[in-house]
Structure 1
Amino acid sequence: MRLGIDTSDEFIKNLSEKSNEIQTAYSKKMEKLTSHVSIKAMLGDSTITQTKTFDPMQIQNFYKNISENLQNWNIRDVTMTNNEDIRRIFIKFDSQVGNYLLSGHMSIQFHVLLYYKQDNKVIQYQKELSEIIDRTKTMDSKLGDDSDQFILQKLKELGYTDLNHQNLFEVFFENDKLREKIYEEIEKNTDLDFKKLAKRKMDLFNELDSLLIETYQTSNVLIDDTRLIAGEEGYLCNFDLEFIKNKVKEGKFVPKKIPNDVKENLIKKLDEIKKIIEI
């Protein structure tokens, strides 16, 4: 049973009010922790821009503080998921009181945007990379015009004289050693060292990657499970109460059958969480 749903039972209403109070305190805390700061960064076209970000480590530390201060709860480790440009940090915990299981789930979902550091090396590397691409592109075009005839000529020189045009190219692409040998001869006829340029191009891409920075964006809004799964930004705070029968959790039960001592302890459990959040 999700706390916060409409119900006529007074005790469940009481628990739901406690849950709502926790959500309010949680929202205030998360709004503070995700307060954005402005930074300068560089776009892919070398334009300097002003953007905003927050520090996800503060969220992790907040969840870690909750896990360290909860007493007599089963607590999962603080976890971060990484799905392309969207990430989620969450913590789950539960506590059994009598035959009832109270469980909580707190989470934040945010987008990751990549920028370059404000560094002149970005411009230098991009310029050199552009020059290499232009040089190899021009030579690739020239080789593309001349290489077919060169390949056919070399294959015939190597004894493949009785094959038609299609069969010659099948031989070329199916024989790795032969293909490598002919490519080496093609490269000897050019002024470019393709292997050296290819390595330099890869090095430049790696250098540019090292200059990337991540910025983080989220919305100060409390979302539910459906919106979380849909990939929306925001944070979540849910509590569920389930009845355990023969080691099986059941979401439907009769609240009036909950013993008074269990009711008192369940309320104390929620009060404990609210107190920790407000620290």
Structure 2
Amino acid sequence: MALAAFLLPALLPTLVMTELTTNAPAWDGAWNNTTSAPPGPNRTYQDPTYYSIHYRIIGTIFQGVIFAAGVLGNIMVVIVVMRTRSMHTPTNCYLVSLSVADFMVLVSSVPNEIISYYVLGDEWIWGRAGCALFIFLQYLGINASSLSITAFTVERYIAICLPMKAQTMCTVKRAKKIILGVWLFACTYCSPWLALTTTTAVYYKGHDNIETCTFALSRHHYRSYFFADIILFYVVPLLLSCVLYGLMARVLFQSNFDSKANGTTDSKKSSSNSSSRVQVNIFC
């Protein structure tokens, strides 16, 4: 749910960019008739653009439903697990961590995307601090979510494939320490985003004081950071999950096969014993 909420804000504007319409009055170049400052030597003025009313309605409803369902669902998970003592298990600890991460992504991304449907072009209304904070929270939530799922997968692997070790390794206390480590690592890793984002002025014809949230440096400086994101939080967790779930499936399949084999053997033994008793009774 959280990943969908994160990806949709990025995908929807691209998929329907043709829905952008110019709702502002036509620009006639007469600066004396507007409140805008005269063009500077290095300024490029764009035509004011807004999303169409149909796109606003559909986008607001669609993302509003995702936001409401995601926020309510994740809050309920946290409350139920925390209030029910019998649910204080290692597995549920990881689920709470995942719910918090999902909640963080929803809150930091979806409302801003809905707001963007109703403002001018790429206008950002939360200032420089808001730009850094919201981007940081989005990446923090996504990365913490990925790491929480990975930790949960490892815990399931130990419980199924190494049941003897699970009694000492898969404990609530240990799970809490791992979750704390996951969030500390994610916070440290994502902290550069607090300095790697900024707001810059965007000049629209007939409008002043418009800012947009964007990269603080040239985009090619972020390639290594994005590459590390893909490797650490997508490729490695995916490969690890595939391997561990494959091993778990093999153990469960083998266990089921052995169970059936033992059942057949026991049935044959029982049948043989019954036959022997019948023969003894006949001859006696």
TM range (shorter): under 0.3
What is the TM-score when the length of structure 1 is the normalising length?
0.26
Please state which structure has a larger fraction of its residues in helix: 2
Relative contact order, higher structure (CA 8 A, sep 6+): 1
What is the TM-score when the length of structure 2 is the normalising length?
0.26
